[in-house]
Amino acid sequence: PEKELRITGILFGTLIREQLVSSITLGIALRYVLEALRKPPSPPGSTTSSSGKMFRFGMFALEQFKGRLHEWPQYCSHIVQIPHLKDGYADLVSEIEVAMAESQNRPTATSTPVSTVGGPDSGASVVSSGSSTGGPGIGLPDSASKAPLTPGSPSPKPIPTSLEFTPASPPREKCTPVFGPGLGRAVQGELDEKQHEAPPDAVLDRVQFLINNVSPSNVDSKAKDLKKMLEPEYFDWLGHYLVCKRISTQPNFHPLYLAFLDQLGDYGKGLVESILASVYLNVGRLLRSPKITTSTSERSLLKNLGSWLGQITLARNRPVLQIMLDCKELLFQGYENGRLIAVTPFVAKILEGAKNSVVFRPPNPWVMGLLSVFKALYAVEDLKMNIKFEVEVLCKNLNVKLEDIPLRTVDLSSRIPPSKEKNPDFNMKSSMVAQASSSSGAGSSTPLARSGSGPLASPETKATTGVLTSGILGSGAFGTGTGQTSSSGSQDQQQTVIPNLAAYVKINPSLTQLLQQSQGGKVAAALNNTTLKRSVPMAVDRAIREIIQPVVERSVTIACITSKEIVTKDFAMESDENKMRKAAQVMVANLAGSLALVTCREPLRASVTTHMRQLLTSSVSSSEQLNEQEQAIIEECVAICATDNLELGCMLIEKAATEKAVRDMDEALAPALNARRKHREQTGQPFYDMSIFGNGNQRYPGALPEQLRPKPGGLRSEQLRVYEAFQKMPRQPAPGGTAGASAPIARSDSSVGSSSTGKSVQQVNVEVLQAIAGKIDSAVTSLLSAAGPRAPEVTFSMLPPDHEIRQLLAAVQRVMPNADASGNRALSTSEKESVLGFSQRIFKRLYELTLSEPLRLEAFVALLETLNKFCPQLGKDIGTWATYAPTETESQRKLHRTVLLLLVRSRLVSVAELDEFFSGNASNGRNGVWVEFSLLFMRTAFLERFATPSDFPKLLELMTSIAEGRSQASPQVNQSLRKPILRMLEELRASTSKQPSKAAASTIPEKKQKQDLILQGSSLSHATLNSRAQATRRAADECEVYARNDPPNAKQQVTFMLDSWIRIHGEATSNEKILLQYLQMLQTNGVGKTDDQTERFFRMSTMVVVEAVLKTSSEGTLNYNVIDVYAK
> CA separation (Å) from 394 to 140, 354, 389?
40, 10, 9
pLDDT for residue 968 = 81
Q: Please tell me what DSSP assigns to residue 324.
A: T
Q: Name which of 313, 300, 315 is nearest 250 in CA terms.
A: 300
The SS3 call for residue 136 is: coil
What is the DSSP annotation of 333-376? HHHHHT-HHHHHHHHHHHHHGGGG-SSSSTT-HHHHHHHHHHHH
CA of residue 537 relative to chain centroid, distance: 24
> CA separation (Å) from 722 to 560, 624, 948?
17, 61, 54
Split at pLDDT 50, 70, 90, the class of 116 is very low
Q: What are phi and psi of 931, to 5 degrees?
A: -65, -45
Q: What are phi and psi of 383, to 5 degrees?
A: -65, 140
- Cβ atoms within 10 Å of 587's Cβ, excluding its own: 24
Mean pLDDT over 37-52 rounds to 70
Angle between helix axes 23-38 and 50-65 (nearest 10 degrees) is 130
The SS3 call for residue 200 is: coil
CA–CA dist 209, 6 (Å, integer): 54
286 CB-contact burial (10 Å; exposed 0-12 / middle 13-18 / buried 19+) = buried
What is the DSSP annotation of 759-822? -HHHHHHHHHHHHHHHHHHHHHHHHHHHHGGGGGG--GGGS-TT-HHHHHHHHHHHHSTT-SSS
CA–CA dist 832, 844 (Å, integer): 18
Split at pLDDT 50, 70, 90, the class of 9 is very high
User: What pTM does this model have?
Assistant: 0.34
Q: 1037-1086 pLDDT, tens per residue?
A: 666 666 666 776 777 778 877 777 777 776 666 667 777 777 777 777 77
Contact 442, 499 (CB under 8 A): yes
pLDDT for residue 12 = 93
pLDDT for residue 1028 = 59
CA–CA dist 1060, 1078 (Å, integer): 8
Residues 6+ apart with CB under 8 A from 1087: 1093, 1094, 1097
CA–CA dist 222, 59 (Å, integer): 55
The 3-class secondary structure across 538-552, one letter per residue, is HHHHHHHHHHHHHHH
Q: What percent of the chain has pLDDT over 90?
A: 5
b/e for 1040-1066, b at 16 or more Cβ within 10 A?
eeeeeeeeeebbeebeebbeebeebee
Q: Please tell me what DSSP assigns to residue 244.
A: I
Contact 110, 70 (CB under 8 A): no
The SS3 call for residue 1117 is: strand
CA–CA dist 20, 368 (Å, integer): 10
What is the DSSP annotation of 881-930? HHTTS--SSHHHHHHHHHHHHHHHHTT-S-HHHHHHHHHHHHGGGT-HHH
pLDDT for residue 310 = 92
Contact 236, 228 (CB under 8 A): no
Split at pLDDT 50, 70, 90, the class of 290 is confident
- Cβ atoms within 10 Å of 715's Cβ, excluding its own: 20
Q: Name which of 438, 460, 545 is nearest 506 in CA terms.
A: 460
For the chain, first and last CA: distance in Å? 107
Contact 350, 344 (CB under 8 A): no
Residues 6+ apart with CB under 8 A from 454: 729, 730, 731, 732
> In the predicted model, is pLDDT for residue 617 greater than 90?
no
pLDDT for residue 1027 = 58
Q: 802-817 pLDDT, tens per residue?
A: 888 888 888 887 777 6
- Tell me which amino acid residue 813 is: Q
In the Cβ-directed half-sphere of 481, how many Cα atoms lie within 13 Å? 2
The SS3 call for residue 684 is: coil
pLDDT for residue 156 = 40
Q: 945-963 pLDDT, tens per residue?
A: 778 888 888 888 888 888 8
pLDDT for residue 450 = 35
pLDDT for residue 113 = 37
Higher local confidence (pLDDT), 733 or 272: 272
The SS3 call for residue 426 is: strand
CA–CA dist 543, 527 (Å, integer): 21
> In the predicted model, is pLDDT for residue 869 greater than 80?
yes
Higher local confidence (pLDDT), 821 or 502: 502
> In the predicted model, is pLDDT for residue 11 greater than 90?
yes
Higher local confidence (pLDDT), 528 or 537: 537
- Cβ atoms within 10 Å of 231's Cβ, excluding its own: 8
Split at pLDDT 50, 70, 90, the class of 739 is very low
CA–CA dist 916, 56 (Å, integer): 106
Q: What are phi and psi of 447, to 5 degrees?
A: -60, 140
> In the predicted model, is pLDDT for residue 263 greater than 50?
yes
SS3 content of the chain, % helix, strand, coil (to 5): 65, 0, 35
CA–CA dist 907, 145 (Å, integer): 104
> In the predicted model, is pLDDT for residue 495 greater than 70?
no
Is the bond preceding 156 in cis, omega lying within 30 degrees of 0?
no
pLDDT for residue 346 = 92
pLDDT for residue 462 = 41
CA–CA dist 856, 522 (Å, integer): 45
Residues 6+ apart with CB under 8 A from 137: 31, 124, 125, 126, 128, 129, 130, 131, 144, 145
Q: 655-686 pLDDT, tens per residue?
A: 889 999 999 988 888 888 888 888 877 777 77
935 CB-contact burial (10 Å; exposed 0-12 / middle 13-18 / buried 19+) = buried
CA Rg, the chain, in Å? Answer: 43
- Cβ atoms within 10 Å of 413's Cβ, excluding its own: 9
Contact 747, 636 (CB under 8 A): yes
pLDDT for residue 157 = 38
Split at pLDDT 50, 70, 90, the class of 350 is very high
Contact 575, 680 (CB under 8 A): yes
CA of residue 819 relative to chain centroid, distance: 45
- Tell me which amino acid residue 512 is: T
Mean pLDDT over 825-853 rounds to 83
CA–CA dist 370, 411 (Å, integer): 12
pLDDT for residue 699 = 58
Contact 25, 14 (CB under 8 A): no
CA–CA dist 364, 382 (Å, integer): 30
Q: Name which of 458, 459, 452, 498 is nearest 475 in CA terms.
A: 498
CA–CA dist 306, 351 (Å, integer): 9
pLDDT for residue 820 = 53
Count of all residues that appear for the chain in the document: 1128
CA–CA dist 304, 249 (Å, integer): 7
Range among 250-264, 808-822, 962-976 with highest mean pLDDT value: 250-264
Q: 934-948 pLDDT, tens per residue?
A: 888 888 888 877 788
